[in-house]
Structure 1
Amino acid sequence: MTVMEMFRAATTQPRATRDLGGRWTAPVLGGALTALLGWLVVTALVTLGVLTAPHSQTSFGSAVGGGSAVWLLLGGARLGIGDAVVAFTPLLGLAGVVALAALGFSRSVRWPDDGDVDDAAGDGPTGIDALSARSDADDTDPAEPSEPADPEDPRTWATWLGGWIVVGVLAWLVTLAGPVRPVAITLVLPFVLAPALGAAWVLHRRGDLDDLLDRLPSSVQRALRPGLQGAAALLVMGTTLIALAVVFHVSRVAHVQAELGAGLLGGLVLTLAQVLALPNLGLWGVSFLAGPGFDLAEGAHAGWGGAETSLLPLIPVFAAHPEPGGFPVVTRLLVLLPVIAGAYVARRVLGSMSRLASPGVKVATVGSAVVVAVAALVALDAVGGGSLGAARLSDVGAPAAALGLALLLELGIGAAVVLGRDVWRLRR
């Protein structure tokens, strides 16, 4: 039975069974099946990659347990391996988990306008939409119509979230068969935060969170979009820098990939894992542009002044680390990119405001946008994590505090230049 058939079967069960759950059956099954779909895909890929690797001696149960741990890692959990802790969540993988949660939530709840569309078309619900459909005509009592769960009722997404958590707990139990143990306190991220973000995104797109956003100060409301756009622009810059480094050292990267001997499928899984971590590496690139630089291991640092190296973990993309030595003085001109990003943020803000708005309002809004941009990048760095193990690998990546301060200063300079130019033009 395919996953889509499982969703369809949720609404074709006998009436007596449906009555046990009532109006909350669809949300709880929707949350559980959405999480199950993500778990199956990730666990299957990891299991096949591990078992098909040449000279692999891993048992099936251990491989499945490791795959289950990887699914929790993608949701933000930290993993313990002996005395070491792996705190590294591939941000693109996390985005995929949130996107799947958003899709599952939107399809698991019968929205008020769904019935009108279905009636007009003359078609029944399909796919995950079937979770919230009414009973078929041949087994539903017209005198007792089932009432769909209200998508704006907090109990609806709490119930949907409950279904997701049940699968999450089962996934955590499956990890007991493998060598990796999730850190218990961090399970709140894959169990609650990731799916809640997906549901919140759906509600935001439908305008159901507008009342909550309207409670924010007007300057913050205007600053949210430009600030996030500025953060995205910086992340693209950093990712481009890392991609260029990989292209420049592609032979070294390919050599390390081949030395690992992961096999065809294992190599594809390893490549996919590195692609999912590309935004993490992009943040390291942003830190390089801003000045603090980044570390790949203890003694392996790259910054404006040059690169230092030491024994690196066997991760192919790490082979793109610059050769030890100093960089040209012109490298410091890269700081202009964060400054330009700050100017871009200010231009986006001023473009959305009346030209005759008071200078105080403009300064407050632009300043809020700069803070939003910096806070978004620092938050991503915190969620992405900065540990690949113990000892020399316990602190890798960008230093969050130094990165935040540097970006606040550099984006602030770019924004101040644009604000100053705007004031000067108004006084001409």
Structure 2
Amino acid sequence: MADVIPMTARRPSLPLLLARLRDRSPGLAASVLGGAVAAGLGLGSFAVLVLALWVSSPYPDSGPGGALHVAAALWLLAHGVELVRTDTLSGAPLPMGVTPLLLLALPVWLLYRAARDAVDAPADADGPPPVPARTAWTGIVLGYLGVGGSAALYCAGAELRPSWGWVTVCLPLVAAGSAAAGVWSAYGRPREPVLGMLRVVPGPVRRLVFGADARPRLGTAVRAAGAATTALLGGGALLLAVSLVWHGGAARASFLQLTEGWTGRFAVLLLGVVLIPNAAVWAASYALGPGFALGAGHVVQPFASHPAPLLPPFPLLAAVPDAGPGALPNWAAGLVPVAAGVTAGWFVARGAVRRPGRGKAASARWPAAGTAAVVLLTAALCAAADALLALLAGGPLGVAALARFGPVWWQTAGAAGVWTAVFGMPVALTVRAWRLWSGRTRTGEIPAQDTGAGGRAKTAPADSGPANGLAAGAGGGEEQAAARAKAQGQAKAEDAGPGKKEKGKQDRGKQVEVVPQAPGAAEEEPYDVLPAEDPFPPDWHDDVARASRWAALKEAAAPSASPPEPEPEPEPEPELEPEPDLTDLPPPGTPEPPDATG
């Protein structure tokens, strides 16, 4: 019994075991499960949508198995995987490579959230440590690719099957990139991994572009490139909306021509909505100059548009500009890349100038040559982003004439980089110089004092210094004269005799009358911020102006001072009686003579 008690005491209690189990890192298994759940949610969303359309369709072509195959194929298409259609009239397989960009947003977001949750970063510092980044990323990617590979195998024998070459490239890229973004965000977006990727850049190029401060330059370039790309896509969406309104009749006719039932029209409307980002990229490429292709040999550009081949009726295709040479409305699309380049230059200029502190002049983070290098880096990032978007937004819809649809990625990338550099460079240098000049002159303001009841200080311009100085000098002269008069009266009253002390007390009881200051006169207080330049004109310091100011001050102070009291005349001293003559007195002991009245 004695041996059992120590063993029981050494055994950890149940709450302690539960706490240790809770504090343990989830590890690789939980990350793999998170990736599989993310893939399952994406597949489930596509399956629900396709099954809903299949159920509501009055004439379904296949059973529920065919609908599930279509859902899996669309899920793979959303990742950029090219599909192959086998049920054609000729029997030859036809490729389908246009990726709806709006569908791509769902898998990317699910992967991003799954990676963040897999890291399991604690909310407080006392919580358990987060899962290592490499473990969380590996688990998410493996779990997602496992479900994705199973989906590709499931629809491999269907009428709409994936191309295995694209499956092995696009699916891992989307999974790895989105999971890496989620893990990086869960760890607080550290900059060291991003800066570590710069090691692949050659040393001379890295020193020329990034210099010694790679972190602020790269951050500024990324923000500027993101803003410019957003402006370019927003301008493309605006061009698309204007073209749809301009060709509203043709778009409405094509929408009604495709199908008659409300289920089919809803499907066409849904397809048009998910392709709106693609059409915005096409319009942005049109504004950049290279345009986009509506089949092999049919290019639509602002300066000239080739006649398009016979296309199926579709609302977005009805908004394509008419064939023929371009006119002024077509050339006006060039304002979109101009706005994108100006936006990039503005963001680079903001990053090139440090925000000045209170009372300090603005300073440049890097010289003009460094600012130009950041603009070029921004142009390169814009080119890379637009190339990726153009590559995803376009693709083949068949063979022969339908082999090319959408913008050519390398042409779009080159045009985006050139437009950004041409219009971003002068804007960045000009705005940088303006921010430096305005930041340095802002510290030259002279703060004036507010004489109102609130007592708060206001800032006055530099040319108001002389007027404020005269007002303050006049007010100070009046107070000094009154104080001197009062001090003289008190001193003379104290030097007087007892009778004059009473008079001095009466004088001290009287209040000295002081002339009030003129409204708007400022009190003489020290400035909080000294002006950087001399706020007074050159003639403020000459002898004539100085003499006139002294005369004005004396004249302003003279009426306010009380006249000095006249000195009282000294009273005549009282006359003293002469001392008696002691020689006529009788000797001591002599009796006094009798009183005659007695």
Q: So what's the TM-score if we normalise by structure 2? A: 0.58
Q: Does 1:66 align with 2:64?
A: no
Q: Does 1:278 align with 2:276?
A: yes
Query: Take 2:183 and 2:27, find their aligned partners in 1: how far apart are those partners?
Result: 20
Tell me the equivalent position of 1:154. Answer: 134
Tell me the equivalent position of 1:328. Answer: 327
Answer whether contact 1:46 1:269 (CA < 8 A) is retained.
Answer: no
User: Over residues 152-211 of structure 1, what are the superposed CA-to-partner deviations in whole Å (9 max), with x where a residue is unaligned?
Assistant: 331222112211112112211221353111111211455322232322222333425421
Q: Which amino acid aligns with 1:367?
A: L
Structure 1 segment 29-428 matched on structure 2, within 5 A: 29-82=33-86, 83-113=93-123, 150-176=130-156, 178-188=158-168, 191-206=171-186, 207-215=188-196, 216=198, 217=210, 218=214, 219-261=217-259, 263-298=261-296, 300-307=298-305, 308-329=307-328, 331-354=330-353, 355-356=363-364, 357-422=366-431
Answer whether contact 1:309 1:324 (CA < 8 A) is retained.
Answer: yes
- Note closer, same or farther for the CA distance 1:325–1:161 as it changes in structure 2 (3 Å cut): same
Structure 1 position 227, deviation (Å): 0.8
Query: Take 1:373 and 1:283, find their aligned partners in 2: how far apart are those partners?
Result: 13
Answer whether contact 1:28 1:159 (CA < 8 A) is retained.
Answer: yes
Q: Which moved more, 1:310-319 or 1:362-371?
A: 310-319
The number of equivalent residue pairs is: 378
Q: Which moved more, 1:52-61 or 1:94-103?
A: 52-61
Structure scoring higher RCO (CA < 8 A, sep ≥ 6) equals 1
Structure 1: runs of 5+ lacking an equivalent: 1-20, 118-147
Answer whether contact 1:297 1:310 (CA < 8 A) is retained.
Answer: yes
- Note closer, same or farther for the CA distance 1:167–1:149 as it changes in structure 2 (3 Å cut): farther
Answer whether contact 1:284 1:294 (CA < 8 A) is retained.
Answer: yes
Answer whether contact 1:73 1:89 (CA < 8 A) is retained.
Answer: yes
Tell me the equivalent position of 1:8. Answer: none
Structure 2: runs of 5+ lacking an equivalent: 1-24, 87-92, 199-209, 354-362, 439-598
Query: Take 2:397 and 2:129, find their aligned partners in 1: how far apart are those partners?
Result: 43
SS in structure 2 at match of 1:214 = helix
Q: Which amino acid aligns with 2:177?
A: L
Query: Take 2:155 and 2:275, find their aligned partners in 1: how far apart are those partners?
Result: 22
Query: Take 2:99 and 2:319, find their aligned partners in 1: how far apart are those partners?
Result: 20
Structure 1 position 361, deviation (Å): 0.9
Q: Which amino acid aligns with 1:386?
A: G
Q: Which moved more, 1:253-262 or 1:408-417?
A: 253-262
User: How many percent of aligned residue pairs carry the same amino acid?
Assistant: 27
Query: Take 1:324 and 1:285, find their aligned partners in 2: how far apart are those partners?
Result: 16
Query: Take 1:282 and 1:204, find their aligned partners in 2: how far apart are those partners?
Result: 30
Answer whether contact 1:64 1:178 (CA < 8 A) is retained.
Answer: no
SS in structure 2 at match of 1:80 = strand
Query: Take 1:42 and 1:275, find their aligned partners in 2: how far apart are those partners?
Result: 15
Q: Which amino acid aligns with 2:182?
A: V
Q: So what's the TM-score if we normalise by structure 1? A: 0.80
Query: Take 1:53 and 1:330, find their aligned partners in 2: how far apart are those partners?
Result: 42
SS in structure 2 at match of 1:181 = strand
User: Over residues 109-146 of structure 1, what are the superposed CA-to-partner deviations in whole Å (9 max), with x where a residue is unaligned?
Assistant: 422337968xxxxxxxxxxxxxxxxxxxxxxxxxxxxx
Tell me the equivalent position of 1:26. Answer: 30
Structure 1 position 66, deviation (Å): 1.3
Q: Which moved more, 1:357-366 or 1:291-300?
A: 291-300
Q: Which amino acid aligns with 2:310?
A: L
Query: Take 2:251 and 2:381, find their aligned partners in 1: how far apart are those partners?
Result: 35
- CA-based RMSD of the aligned residues comes to 2.7
Query: Take 2:65 and 2:329, find their aligned partners in 1: how far apart are those partners?
Result: 54
Q: Which amino acid aligns with 1:87?
A: G
Q: Which amino acid aligns with 2:84?
A: G
- Note closer, same or farther for the CA distance 1:170–1:149 as it changes in structure 2 (3 Å cut): farther
User: Over residues 294-344 of structure 1, what are the superposed CA-to-partner deviations in whole Å (9 max), with x where a residue is unaligned?
Assistant: 122346542113432331134332122233333324532432331231121
Q: Which has the higher helix share?
A: 1
Q: Which amino acid aligns with 1:196?
A: A
Structure 1 position 237, deviation (Å): 0.6
- Note closer, same or farther for the CA distance 1:64–1:349 as it changes in structure 2 (3 Å cut): same
Answer whether contact 1:65 1:177 (CA < 8 A) is retained.
Answer: no
